[in-house]
Amino acid sequence: MREAEVIERLRRIATHPAARGLADDAALLDGLVITHDSIAEGVHFLPEDPPASVGWKLVAVNLSDLAAKGAEPAAALLSLTLAGDGAWDSGFIDGIDAACESYGLALIGGDTIALTPGAPRVLGLTAIGRAGANTPARGGARPGDKLWLAGTLGDSAAGLAILLEDPKATGVLVDIYRRPVPLLEAGQALAPYATAMMDVSDGLLLDTMRLAVASGCSATIDLDRVPLSRAFIAERGAGLPARMFAATGGDDYALLAAFPPEFDPALSVSLPSKPNLVCIGTLAAGDAPLYLVGGGGRPVPLPEHLGHEHRGIAFAPMADRP
């Protein structure tokens, strides 16, 4: 049974409406938005990463799922594996503490378990938020809707690339890779108007395809409009290869939202000064889930890898068209 089949099996079990077909970033139960993401050493973080940044990141990736549903952070349960390195554990908890305090998330439970010696750490968090008036799913967008992005793309992937060359590297991009910022205010501001919303954790192209498939639409993304930070452009430029890197790198925790064509969130929604908000594409009726244009509107072929399909983080099957 391959990973896609595993997820398909789980989806057949998950028939409760709160599950949203496991096709969403989070479940919705009794007015609470609930998500669980785990991260594994060697897969989602580097053994050399400062443990406080790993703790921060575990909280942030879960809060990004709440942000994508417009929820307000309420509480969390931590699943902590102990590998016998007290200094690491202490630093990790510092990071958990800092992130929980920054975002008003109360740690209310969880467990600690010992691992067999040498086993890589697997760290999990269940984050619980209070739902707003609208909790946009992935699958609610309609043909004609426009796709908007809050945040910038590629910073984290560029930071990881720098670290893989030089584990001691520092700088803005490394910081963004290690300490992503969940766009909670933006998510809460956009959710009432969005027909669909999700966070871009596995790469813009892959996640856009997921939103399009869940909504029964075809998406076209204009790579020229992919928002890049000054730090990213300084590192990798702003040409088409750099934009493709940014659109497939993942680990962004930007928000991807669909709005009716006449709605301009940049005009209609009161947002904190950051993040920037750009229209990056459109949805249409059609069978193929994803088209790319770039270099002034010319068709661009899809790359072989749309994002990080096997990094996991949330049940997010490709084949989830009803």
Chain residues 295-314 in contact with a second copy, contact rule CB under 8 A: 310-314
Smallest distance, a second copy to C-beta of residue 134, A? 19
Smallest distance, a second copy to C-beta of residue 250, A? 14
Smallest distance, a second copy to C-beta of residue 157, A? 18
Binding flag, residue 169, a second copy (CB under 8 A): no
Binding flag, residue 164, a second copy (CB under 8 A): no
**Among residues 46, 50, 72, 93, which is the contact residue for a second copy, using CB under 8 A?**
93
Q: What is the rounded CA–CA span in Å between residue 193 and residue 125?
A: 29
Binding flag, residue 170, a second copy (CB under 8 A): no
Binding flag, residue 14, a second copy (CB under 8 A): yes
Q: What is the rounded CA–CA span in Å between residue 43 and residue 32?
A: 30
Distance of CA 302 to CAs 52, 65, 208, Å?
37, 26, 13
Binding flag, residue 18, a second copy (CB under 8 A): yes
**Among residues 89, 145, 199, 252, which is the contact residue for a second copy, using CB under 8 A?**
89
Instruction: Tell me how crowded residue 210 is: count the other CB atoms within 10 A of its CB.
Output: 28
Binding flag, residue 86, a second copy (CB under 8 A): yes
**Among residues 58, 59, 69, 81, which is the contact residue for a second copy, using CB under 8 A?**
81
Q: What is the rounded CA–CA span in Å between residue 22 and residue 19?
A: 5
**Among residues 58, 59, 68, 75, which is the contact residue for a second copy, using CB under 8 A?**
75
Q: Which helix (H) or strand (E) holds 279?
A: strand 277-284
Quick one: tokens of 39?
A: 């991260």
Number of residues that bind a second copy (CB under 8 A): 73
Chain residues 261-280 in contact with a second copy, contact rule CB under 8 A: none
Q: Which residue lies nearer to a second copy by CB, 67 or 283?
A: 67
Interacting span for a second copy (CB under 8 A) from 91-99, 170-178, 254-262, 276-284: 91-99
In the block, residue with structure tokens 């920054």: 102
Binding flag, residue 77, a second copy (CB under 8 A): yes
Q: Which residue lies nearer to a second copy by CB, 125 or 246?
A: 125
Among 55, 153, 147, 157, CA closest to 110: 55
Interacting span for a second copy (CB under 8 A) from 11-19, 204-212, 226-234, 278-286: 11-19
Quick one: tokens of 216?
A: 């029964």
Contact 63, 19 (CB under 8 A): no
Contact 126, 34 (CB under 8 A): yes
Q: What is the rounded CA–CA span in Å between residue 302 and residue 92?
A: 39
Smallest distance, a second copy to C-beta of residue 146, A? 28
Chain residues 22-51 in contact with a second copy, contact rule CB under 8 A: 22, 24, 26-27, 29-32, 34-44
Which segments of the chain does DSSP mark as H helices, in order? Answer: 3-13, 51-68, 86-103, 155-165, 172-178, 184-190, 204-215, 230-236, 240-248, 265-268
Chain residues 100-159 in contact with a second copy, contact rule CB under 8 A: 100, 106-116, 119-120, 122, 124, 126, 128
Contact 199, 206 (CB under 8 A): no
